[in-house]
Amino acid sequence: MPTGLRQHLLDQISPERLTKLTYDLVRIKSYTGDTVEAAGFYAEHLTGLGLAVETVTDFPNSPVVIGRLRGGDGPTLTLNGHIDTVPVDHPPVELKDGTIYGRGAADMKSALAAMAEVARVLHDNDVRLHGTLQLIAHGLHEAPGGRGEDITAIVRRGLGGDAAIVTEIGVDDLPVVGMGMTIFEVTITRGGDPSHELMTPAGTPHPLLAAGQVLVRLQELNAKLQREPVARIGPESVFVGMVTG
């Protein structure tokens, strides 16, 4: 892309539009597994920008929105983001001193707004792409409510592309390598029937105390990993997100 055109397109980015779309998205509650309203709003917005929009409802309460700005027969670049939020109540959305406060503002509805703004600028300036710009917003991301089942389903159905950028990373540089993530669920039990504390024989294993030992070991493992950074990324980590008993 010529330098002059690149700068012209950058100059067309509208902070006001970014703010408004982010605010409107945050205003809509979209807890993991219940994102119909937010997805519908985003799909309607992308349609209004001139994109070809498809909504996939393999998971009816968590539709996947796919918007495409088509150009030539060249490669497809996907901008990907999740529209769901951690299901924790939050005060109503507020714009204060240039910052939007509300559930999902940073994680990651502002990024979805940025994706849409990229498509708008290209469309409104009649930029002829060599290939296709593909925007994807999905709603089964935040564990344990979601494990990416919706995005996995559309990939298995044949949704493809030649490159993808996950827009969640809030930095100015583009990371080209990542750790990935694995979620483990550990269940600790003992044999025999449940029993009252006063009726339990001495020496009977206690699952909760065993779980405590597991947590200590995980903490030790995490400390060890912090001393062994991976090139260009930093150290791996182990995080305990939930314990019940």
pLDDT digits (tens, 9 = 90+) for 14-56: 999 999 999 999 999 999 999 999 999 999 999 999 999 999 9
What amino acid occupies position 35? T
Q: Among residues 166, 200, 215, which one ends one of the domains?
A: 166
177 in a structural domain = no
> Does residue 127 sit in the same domain as residue 238?
no
Together in a domain, 152 and 191: no
Q: How far is CA 141 from CA 7, 93, 148, 156, in A?
A: 34, 21, 5, 17
Which one has a higher pLDDT value, 206 or 4?
Answer: 206
pLDDT of 169 strictly over 80: no
Question: Residues 154, 217: one domain?
Answer: no
Residues 130-135: what's their mean pLDDT?
A: 97
pLDDT tens digits, 48-91: 999 999 999 999 999 999 999 999 999 999 999 999 999 998 99
Stretch 99-108: mean pLDDT, rounded? 96
At 121 the three-state DSSP class reads helix
Average pLDDT, the chain: 93
Environment class of 54 (CB within 10 Å of its CB; exposed 0-12, middle 13-18, buried 19+): middle
Same domain, 17 and 111: yes
- Indicate whether 30 and 71 sit together in one domain: yes
Reply yes or no on whether the pLDDT at 1 is more than 70. Answer: no
Expressed as residue numbers, the domain containing 98 is 3-166
Based on the fold, state whether residues 104 and 53 are members of the same structural domain: yes
Same domain assignment for residues 213 and 126: no
